[in-house]
Chains A and B, each alone.
Chain A
Amino acid sequence: MRRGNIKVEYRRMVFRNSIIIVLLTLVGIGSSACRKKVARAANDPLNQAYATEPNWNDPDKVIPLNYQETQGQRVFYQYCVWCHADSSPAGPSNRANLTPSPALMNDGAKLNGLSDEYLRNIITLGGSAMGKSPMMPAFGKTLSQQEIRAVIAFTRAIADPPYKRPARAGSQYSAR
């Protein structure tokens, strides 16, 4: 009888302990597996923008700019804005003075059809080299190629109607 008791108790103990071990292990793994999910901030495109530019045709709308486009924005407002916008930081624009009238930099209808390469050439070499008005000076010695690419990227970003990049591998923006 005594032996039987020991045997039964021993059996119970082993059973109880193994259940506890299994449960503890499961609880441990389960708790580490259940990561707390934090809601990520709503994906506001302006949160991912290096800088912004108001839409020229609708100043209430804001266009997000990335790093390259922001550098283009700076170059544009220093060198190009005087003739390629209808108002300038100093007041009125020189655009109305000129014939032929220079393109507005956000004129998608006019600029979207021109390739990046064409724009890069006309900025680098000037109007007369491309069979256009000599009033457009050559900026190849004033701006670096990187700055010229940035201005083009800025133009594309503010284009209205919006610019769609042609699906083609090896974009010029490799820039490296």
Chain B
Amino acid sequence: MPAEHRGDVSNRLRVIYTILTVVFVGVLAISPIRDHYAQWKQYQKKYVKLASARANSKALMGDFQGGINQIWLPKLKVTDRCTTCHLGISEPSLLAESVPQPFRAHQMIPHPPEAWGCVVCHRGQGLATNVQEAHDTTVAWERPILPVRYIQASCGVCHKNNLPETPKLDRGRELLVKYNCEGCHHLQGIQGPAMLGPDLSNIGAEVTRAWIYKWLKQPRTVLDKSGNVVTDGYEMNPRMPQFRFKKGEIRDLSAYLSSLKSPLKESSKIDPRVAADWPNQSAMLSYGEFRFRQMFCTDCHSLAVVRAGMTELIGGDIGPELTKIGSKVNRDWLISWLRDPQAYLPHAVMPRYTWSDKDLYAVSQYMLSELTDPDLLSDVPKLGPATASEIKNGRLLFVAKGCRSCHFIRGVPAQKDFGPDLTDEGGKTLSELFFAQAKIPHTLIAYIRAKITDPVSVNPAARMPQFHFDSADMDAITTALLSMTGTPTNPGLASLIVPARHPKFDPAGKFGKLFNRYKCFDCHMFNGFGATLAPNLSYEGSRSRRQWLIDFLKDPVTLRPTLTIRMPQFNMSEKDAETIADYLDMVMQSPQVDFSTVNAKDFTPAMASLGKQLYEVKYECQSCHTIGASGGYVGPALTNVGNWMNAAWIEAWLKDPQKLVPDTIEPHREFTDKEITALTAYLVTLRQRGKAGDGGAGR
């Protein structure tokens, strides 16, 4: 290369390299500049501004630490950097809703974030330091933040038992049991006894083929706001979902089911003289209605009534709705069922009442002729007798549609795993879900909701029938399903799981027989087993005097005047009542009540009159309790409390009611010992029938 040209080359190269150097320096600078303007740094600057403008800025700034913050809990495998931006999370003074996010303090919860981290409950990506990666689904992270609406699901991941703090989760679990979702799906943490549908082994003896046709076609009645029938079905809120049947399938199924018929075990015969005894039909029917009410059938069964122009269901939902029962069941079946429900259906929860023929006749006549809907079967086509091929097809359909998951039929084998396993549904990632053509947001929550609202919207071939839930129940079920995240992969959490408790109370002997006959556990709680519809009887023997129990069981008086749900009259014999009272008296005792410390004989009239004064003036107990005709409706009537309760129980109750019945409404008052004795002395003088009790030893 000639010397004169050498300078040209190096000059040009120099220019190029200078430009390149500037470009490279610029390129290299992008990263620190981006870092300087990182989201979290911006948030920290904003926080400093916010903190220094507040009254307690010194304290806030003292707690502030710049840079990436994290909650690191090696035992729980938690490394959450959420506190890098959520800087006020543990600052009580920043709790108000006027504090902008992400700086607001966390609500006071049993598991504070410092000790548990954030992601354990809220999901999301704890290691991320920018808003989107931490909260949303990204290519690398498919566990987005759980909206607070469903946050109770996270409590349920560890707490398999119900908690007072998680009403939505508890309701969701209750619904999963009520609708027997376990019939088809495996679920996590639902160990309660399944609520099966009725056994259909003998269904042809109970209902007609036309009724079965109607029921399969449309079990549900829907009314609009002005009370017009929009969908004409049988019940207003049936547990039975609606299936999608093809043409002819209902015909086949109804043929098969109506062919399942064997003679009734219990007698359906009623002495013809009983019917002849009534002077006229209407007197008999009104007596039937009177007894129907007195036996409190509506504790468990509901009736649709029109109140102020609105149709509503009143009554319980343990048994089926009875509004149109007269248009459903066969007379002979009804009588034999009422005589002994368990003879027809061994697992029936209906108690066995003691019936006189007179009552049985009048009550069944009332149900069959007054609780009817003459138009119920008007849209059912003429079906005729079932043919052999219809019956054969119907049996195949019964299996193919999954009916066997809820309904038992003798000789039809059970199916296992009819629906998909849902034990880890609530923890699934997006790539594990199949959305097909569904036009819904691609999130786990939208997927679960769409599956429950309309199963075919996600999977056109879905076998799952159509359920109907209102929006609150929808939230509850979604929450319960979201809590089912399978076996925790995090060993730190696995050891913390609180299993559900299912206490069993299964007395044997004479009492055991009566306990199961009258189904006391349908309404009452016994040492954690049973239901909460009626008072907890775990300590009934400490509370009530034996003679009072016997009288009450034979003829339940109303202790709480306004309750719509009351103890039914079972028409119990003296002997049965004595057996039950003896058992309660001997076994259902509280260690808190010591009969030897209270002697009712020591009570003087002066003490009683002081007690009366305290009751009426100082504490105004009449605001909640009734004596005679006046007083409040909150607590039980005390008119006959002297015959009803043991003095030792009254004393222990006044000292600390929650110690005897943990969630009782009666507040724990600050009575002095003298006041307690005086109030007890007064209360034991309140006697209605002047019977029962010797007054000694507090009993």
Chain B residue at minimal CB-CB distance from A140:
B670
**What CA separation (Å) do A29 and B564 show in the bound complex?**
72
Interface size on B, residues (CB 8 A): 57
Which of B143-151, B200-208, B546-554 sits within the interface?
B143-151
Residue of B93, B96, B151, B669 near A50 (CB, 8 A) is: B151
Residue A48 is within 8 A (CB to CB) of chain B in the complex: yes
Residue B674 is within 8 A (CB to CB) of chain A in the complex: no
* Residues B562 and A91 in contact, CB atoms below 8 Å apart: yes
Which of B12-20, B215-223, B378-386 sits within the interface?
B12-20
Chain B residue at minimal CB-CB distance from A167:
B98
**What CA separation (Å) do A38 and B93 show in the bound complex?**
33
Residue A98 is within 8 A (CB to CB) of chain B in the complex: yes
Chain B neighbourhood of A94, CB < 8 A: 623-624, 632-634
**What CA separation (Å) do A29 and B32 show in the bound complex?**
13
Chain B neighbourhood of A15, CB < 8 A: 16
* Residues B1 and A135 in contact, CB atoms below 8 Å apart: no
Chain A neighbourhood of B13, CB < 8 A: 11, 14
**What CA separation (Å) do A139 and B664 show in the bound complex?**
13
Chain A neighbourhood of B148, CB < 8 A: 47-50
- Judged by DSSP, the binding face of B is loop
Chain A residue at minimal CB-CB distance from B665:
A79
**What CA separation (Å) do A11 and B77 show in the bound complex?**
58
**What CA separation (Å) do A51 and B624 show in the bound complex?**
30
**What CA separation (Å) do A35 and B670 show in the bound complex?**
64
Cβ contacts A12-51/B at 8 Å (1 or 0 each)? 0011001001100110010001010010110000111111
* Residues A35 and B620 in contact, CB atoms below 8 Å apart: no
Chain A neighbourhood of B24, CB < 8 A: 25
Residue B107 is within 8 A (CB to CB) of chain A in the complex: yes
Residue A152 is within 8 A (CB to CB) of chain B in the complex: no
Nearest-Cβ distance from residue A40 to partner chain B, whole angstroms: 7
* Residues B12 and A11 in contact, CB atoms below 8 Å apart: yes
Chain A neighbourhood of B167, CB < 8 A: 51, 70, 74
Residue A61 is within 8 A (CB to CB) of chain B in the complex: no
* Residues A137 and B669 in contact, CB atoms below 8 Å apart: yes
Residue A78 is within 8 A (CB to CB) of chain B in the complex: yes
Residue A175 is within 8 A (CB to CB) of chain B in the complex: yes
* Residues A92 and B12 in contact, CB atoms below 8 Å apart: no
Chain A neighbourhood of B54, CB < 8 A: 169
Chain A neighbourhood of B56, CB < 8 A: 169-170
20 interchain pairs, CB-CB under 8 A: A7-B1, A7-B5, A18-B16, A21-B20, A25-B24, A33-B30, A46-B149, A48-B147, A67-B109, A78-B665, A90-B565, A91-B564, A93-B633, A97-B631, A139-B667, A140-B670, A141-B667, A142-B667, A169-B54, A173-B95
Known contacts A18-B16, A135-B620; 4 additional CB pairs below 8 A are: A29-B30, A90-B562, A169-B93, A171-B93
List residues of B whose CB falls within 8 A of some A CB: 1, 5, 9, 12-13, 16, 20, 23-24, 27, 30, 34, 54-56, 92-93, 95-96, 107-109, 132, 136-137, 147-149, 151-152, 164-165, 167-168, 441, 472, 560, 562-565, 618-620, 623-624, 631-634, 658, 663, 665, 667-670
